[in-house]
Amino acid sequence: MLKNGIARSLRASAYTRPAFQRAFQPKVVVPAISQRFASTEGGAKEGKIHQVIGAVVDVKFDTDALPAILNALNTTNGDNKLVLEVAQHMGENVVRCIAMDGTEGLVRGRKVTDTGAPITIPVGPATLGRIMNVTGDPIDERGPIKTDKYAPIHADAPLFVDQSTSAEVLVTGIKVVDLLAPYARGGKIGLFGGAGVGKTVFIQELINNIAKAHGGFSVFTGVGERTREGNDLYHEMQETGVINLDGESKVALVFGQMNEPPGARARVALTGSPSEGKNNSYPAVWPPEARNQLSTAFDTLALINSAVVVQIIRAAARAYKHRHTKNDDEDEDDLDRAVRSARERVAEQISTAEHEDDLADDDDDDDADLEDLDLDDLELEEDAALEQIVDITHALVNVDVPRSKNNAHFRTLLGRRSELDSIQICCDLSFAPGLDDVLASPEPPEWSFFLNLPSPSTVQWGIYAICLEKKGKPKMLYIGSGTRMRDGVAARMAHYKPSLANQPSLVGPAFKAGYRVTHHGLLCWGKTPAAGFTPRARALYLALEATFTTIFHAVVERPRIDRHYEHLLLWSRESVDWDPLCSHLSLTEPIRGGVGKTEEELEVAALARKYEKAAKAKPKKTRASIPGAARQHFLLMKKIYDAKKRAADPGAYDEHARVRQRAYHARKKAEDPKGYKAHQDHMARGYLAKRLAADPVGYRATLNRRSRESRAKKRAQDPEAFDARAREQARRYAATAKAKKLAAGVPPKKRQKKE
C-alpha cells in the first residue's frame, strides 16, 4: 500500500482526493516578492562609496529614496565591473551592500549606479556549453553570451496550483539508485561524503545520462568547488560530448569557487536555481524548448521506472514488516528469498525490455509493456478506506493548533507522509467491513453500521466504538483505542461496565443516567507490534483514533478548536443521529512506551521487564510452603537446636534473641511504618482481650492499681501542673456530658441560688 504516488501513477485514473486537500493560495496573504524587490519610483540612481570593509561596501546617496533590498548596484574597480547587492539600510542615506567580486583597490568616493532590479543573468539556449559566474558573465574566454533574454536571480515562489501534487520517479540510469533509492522528480537530493569519494563524479554521471539517454538539459552549479575540479569537469564533459564547442551542448556551468569572495559563493546557487515562469521546476538558464523536451522524456519514462521500483518495495516491505511485528505465519528466509527474486526479475526486465521507444511511439505499446511487468502480482489496488483514512490522519496531525491541544510528538513521528506510510505498512492495518462505502457516501452512516462492527478475536491492537443506548433517549457513541502489549484492545473494551470505576469523564455519567452498552466493535485493528516498534505504532493508533473521532463526530463540540478541523469533516454535526461521549481528541495524550528511545533500547527494556516479571511470579520457598510432615520435622529440629543453645549459655542466647527481635521490628517498621503500627495495635488489643476474658475482676483491679500509681507519681513530680491538668480534664468532661444531654433532649438542671 504505497502512498508515495507510485501506485497512483500506474492506474488509469487516480483516486479522487477529498476537498480538504485544496492548495493554499499564498498571494492572498503576502504581497508578491517582485514588489518588494523592485526599486521605488523616483529612487536614488547614483551614489558614492562611503566605506569598504572587506566584502562589505557601504554606499551613500544624496536623497532619502534609497535602493530596495536585493537591488543590484554597479560600479567599477579599476578596469573591471563590480556588482554590489543591497543587504541593509543603515540610516542617514547609507545602504550596506555585499560585493560579488573582490574589493581590492576599491576607494571611497567612487560612483555607484542603481540598476533598479536584482542581479540579472542571461538565460536561454545561448547559455548551454558556457561557464558563467554569479553575475552571469562568461568566464570560459569564449566571448560574450549572445542572447536577448535575461532573468533575475530572485523571483516569486511558484504557486501551489502550478505545482504537481503527484510523486514521480526521476530516472537516473544508474541501477543502484533507480532500484534501491529512487530520486523524486522535482525534489532535492543531497549527497554527503568526505573528500575524494566521488560526489562530483556522481553528479557528472547523472548529467551525462540525462543528456544522452533522454535528450535533457542540466545546470551544474559549483558552490565553493575547487578550481581544479571545475576545470577537470569542463574538459571531461567535452570529451563525453555533453559540451560541444562547435555544436549543441546539453549543460550550462555556473561556478562560485572557494577562492572567490563570500558574496559570490552566497549567491551563485541562486544563479542556477529555479526562476520565474510557470515551469518552476527547471533552472533559469534552461530555455523553454528544453524544459518541454525534458518534461516529455520524464513523463514517458517515469511510468516504467515506477513499476520497476514497486516490485522491489513490495518485497522489501513484507520483510521489514515481518521484523517489526509478531507474525509467525511467514518465514524470514522466505521473505529474503522473495526480495532477491524480485530484484532478479527487475534486472532481467530492464535488460531485455526497450520501454523508451515503445512508450514514445504508441499508446498501445504502453499497455503491452505494463502487462509484461506482471503488475497483477504486485497487488497495487489500494484499499480506498485505508487511503482516505491515512490522508485525513496526515492532515489532522499537521493542523496548526495551539500546543496545548496537540502533542508535538505526533507531528515529529507522523508529520512526514513517508514516515506515516512506513509505520502503517508495518502495522498491517485492517478496517471494518463496509467502511469504504461509508466514507464515500455523502450521508453519515446509520446506527446499524456501528452495531455490526466485528469483535476482537485475538490479542491485537485496534480502534473500537462503544454504542450506548437508553429507551427514549438519543443514542451515544464513544471511540477509543487499545494498545496494551499484554492483552491488547479486548481488555480495554471489557472495561466499559457500570460496575467498574475510572470510566471516561462522559461515559461514567451516562452509565449513572441509565445508559447501557448495546455493542462494542472494532473500526480498525492490527497485530501487536514488536517491542522496538511500540512507540511509533502507538502514535499511529492514537492518531487514527483522533481521525475516527473527528469524522464520526464522537467528540463534544468545541467552537475554538473545531474551526481548525472543519475542512476535514465528511458530514456536518447536525446530520448524525448520535451524541458524542469523547471529551477530547487523543492527539493531546502522551505517547507511552519511550518515544525518545532507540529501537535497541526498547528491546532491551522489554527483555528486562520480562525477566523481572518472571522472577516475581516464581514462588518463594517459605516455612508456610513446606508441606505436612516436612514442616513438623523442621519445627522439631528448631526446638531442639534452641534448647541446646539456651542450655549452653542462657544469658547469651536471651541477648541474641532480643537483638534479633529488635532488628526484626526495626526492619518491619522501616518497610511499612503505618502497617507496622496497625499490626502492633492489633496485637496489643488481642493481648488485652485475652486477659480480660481470662480474669475480668483481676484485670480491672490491675488497671485501677496502675492508674492510681501513675497519678500519684505525676502529682509527686509537679503538684501544680497535675492539679491544673485535672481541673481542665474535669471541665472538658462536664462540657461533654452537657452536650450529650442537650443532644438527647434532656433539659439542663437549674442551679438554686444560695440564700
Strand partners, 541: none
Q: How far is CA 246 from the centre of its chain?
A: 54
**pLDDT tens-place string over residues 678-706:** 888 888 888 888 888 888 888 888 888 88
Task: Please tell me if the domain spanning 39-116 has the same topology as the one spanning 121-187+200-382.
Answer: no
- What b/e string do you get for 59-88 counting C-beta neighbours within 10 Å, with b at 16 or more? bbbeeeebbbebbbbebebeeeebbbbbee
pLDDT at 57 over 90: yes
297 pLDDT tier (thresholds 50, 70, 90):
very low
578: left (phi over 0), alpha (psi -120 to 50) or beta: beta
Q: Residue 394 and residue 410: Cα distance in Å, rounded?
A: 10
Beta bridge partners of 60: 48, 94
Confidence band for 180, pLDDT divided at 50, 70 and 90: confident
Q: 146-162 pLDDT, tens per residue? A: 888 888 988 877 777 77
Average per-residue pLDDT for the chain: 76
Residue 231: how many CA atoms within 13 Å on its side-chain side?
Answer: 4
Whether pLDDT at 275 is above 70: no
> Nearest 5°: phi and psi at 678?
-65, -40
Give the confidence band of 47 by pLDDT, cuts at 50, 70, 90: very high
Confidence class of residue 348 from pLDDT cuts 50, 70 and 90? low
Q: φ, ψ for residue 180 (rounded to 5)? A: -100, -35
In the chain, where are the structural domains located? 39-116, 121-187+200-382, 385-599, 619-648, 696-744
All three cell numbers of 330 = 511467514
- pLDDT category at 125 given cuts 50, 70, 90 is confident
Q: Would you say residue 658 has pLDDT above 90?
A: no
Q: Give residue 246's pLDDT.
A: 81
* DSSP bridge partners of 73: 84, 114
The pLDDT, as a whole number, for residue 351 is: 52
Cα separation, 260 vs 246, in Å, equals 30
Out of 3.30.465.10, 2.40.10.170, 1.10.240.10, 3.40.50.300, the CATH code matching 39-116 is 2.40.10.170
Return the DSSP state at 194.
-
The secondary structure of 525-559 as a DSSP string is EEEPBPGGGHHHHHHHHHHHHHHHHHHTT-B---H
Lookup: cell for 443: 450521508
pLDDT in tens, 627-636: 566 777 777 8
pLDDT surpasses 60 at 343: no
**Residue 163 or 104, more confident:** 104
* CATH class of the structural domain 121-187+200-382: alpha beta
Q: Give me the mean pLDDT over the 649-658 stretch.
A: 86
Least confident range of 319-328, 424-433, 701-710: 319-328
Inter-residue contact 483 to 473 (CB < 8 Å): no
What number is the average pLDDT over the span 122-149? 88
Check: CB of residue 116 under 8 Å from CB of residue 44.
no
pLDDT of residue 39: 43
pLDDT beyond 70 at 321: no
Distance CA 735, CA 751 (A): 16
Answer whether 493's CB lies under 8 Å from 456's CB: yes
Q: Would you say how long the chain is, in residues?
A: 755
- What is the rounded distance in angstroms from the CA atom of residue 428 to the CA atom of residue 620? 42
Q: What is the DSSP string of 54-80?
A: TTEEEEEESSS-PPPTT-EEEEEETTE
Counts for the chain of helices (H) and strands (E), in that order: 25, 18
